[in-house]
Structure 1
């Protein structure tokens, strides 16, 4: 397994090296064609320059002969020396061998012979020989010019053909490279781009690597490995989310059971408070009855009636003891206060209450993040829980919103629980919060009473009001810091 990766890399690098060498060979071929064209054109330019120089020499020699011929018409004999100079030019042209027409050397020889003959004869003979020599020179110059034009046409045609060949070869190379890049490189990379964009939609589909260019195989193998890993991670995340959701539901169910138990305990506490109030009200008249019975006992001398009064007095004492026990049980010890963040407490409360409230009811909060309180947290949590559940029961069957709003007012905090339900009944707004007083058919009348008792224990105030056009608002004012230990 350790040797497999280097071997695979060698196998994958070999086609890339071959393609690179092929591309370099094609580029080298194009470069060679271009260099060859430049070299041949330079050689042709040198040849043409030589031909042009030769033509200039021919033309110069022809002009010299014409000048000598013109002098003969003026009666001036050229003389052997002058004819010898012209003959030297002609022989130089013969020696250079830069002519284009194959008859040029022979014709130059005829001119040279004519010049030699003109030097030894009379003026008329010299004129005749020079005239023949000028005609031959014109013929030579004309033939050289025709041949030079033909050579130039051939060079131009060859150069154009070579340029077309180089251009065609370069075009074929570029088109081949473009087709190769588009089909073997760009198209798979474009598919990879679409696949990567689909990853955001959790589409973990691997790509088939058959027919891919070996250069791209490692890239797509890495992509497929990444897709498999992402799929496994997504499945693990889904399973973890399911297990976490099950745990949250279980914990929420347990919390709801605890809240129901706490609600029952609060109802019993309210009933105990009512019993304590009744016991307190009964204890005073019961003490008067007991004193009257004791006085009456002291005045009666009949043993039977005295015994009956003693029985009544004993029962009255037992009832007094029961009432005192009720009062003792009705007394509550305050919970300890602690420092907490009100926004965090409300956020946790709404997150847990979400499972008790229908989905069509929205839960919102507007509480400053830096609002710190020093109060009995459990009591405040129970207050807000009762108010939210009361608002949800008022909205049952209808969509709506429950908002918890808080703001600091000097050394106090104002808490408002607002809903857009039907609002409080005029009777509740007029008479206030009363134990067992409710505006709902199945209400117990304990929720607001318990909230009121808690608020008073914390040294706060509670106020009920209705919103416009509809809705209820419970406003609670509490000290930021409780005086309880």
Structure 2
């Protein structure tokens, strides 16, 4: 049953259903017309039969009176030709009786005809003796004049009257039946019209619900998708063909969205490919000079200056590694994983940012540093640069004399780092693929670089505004992907 109903959900199945419905409607109308034609034919035949019986009875009755006249002509006028006419009427009346018997269709009709036949038989017996007699007595003549008319003929009239009343009654029944049949015929003739209207309404509803409405959705959805909103989904509704068309357009939109993201990523990579080597070149040259100067000066410096120069050399080497990692970002390689903790990586990144903190009188507050951090496998250079960029963004957004809180947390399944500032928060989610937004937030390449690195480490980077004000950036990593085994 479900399979048959499913077939109706296609355009071909719907058309076949409508064709079959109209064929059934035509056949039903034809059958009804045929039945009514048969009923009218039967009624007409019955009416003709009753009319024929009535006609034969009237003819029989008329001939009977003429036969009686011939009897009187024979008896009182001595008309020789009347005898021949008398027997001629006998044949005709017997013929009418045979025809009446042939027309009867019920026992009641047959009994009425037999009643007439018996009454006529008695009339014939009583009158035929007058036809063959040579001499009639006065008593016979008196009987003929009174008894025949008062008794025998009265019985005939009664028989005729019974049959006529029966015929009138049957005719009334037939008329009533015709009237009822005509009323039913009008009602039955209206039935196909009503069914046609119902079928038309159902067809209109079906077409509107399963074809027109889905087509409007497809047209509207195609226009929306053409504007660049590839996330729009056309509802899967209507007949199977339209559902498949909607699904195909949705799939196309998803593929276009994916291709657009890849194109944007490619453009960003191309832009970075032009920018980063230039930045790296301009950074490496001064760094090389600073390191060389520090190395030359370290031999002649006192103990206190030597410690500062060593710190400068370490910082320069770290910056050199970051520049190298930034260049690797343009040509992604498999991260060079080493065992470390997220706390150690954060401390290394924060060691280069103290000057910026002092300039804005911003205090850096660490939370969770007392815990025994999990050892994880990460690329130290890449991850330090991610944390450095995110904290630097927080410093730029934070007001003077504020606090930046850094929270380290861990559980059985994950480790994470949260960076909270007291700035104005994000106007939009900076995690979206939108280079204009990065420029507006003054975060440059920090966030796209962080996203790339976090993704390489199978982690997650989230951005949110805090209810009390400020913004939060969260890094989360599954221990199953980064833990040391």
Q: TM-score, normalised by structure 1?
A: 0.33
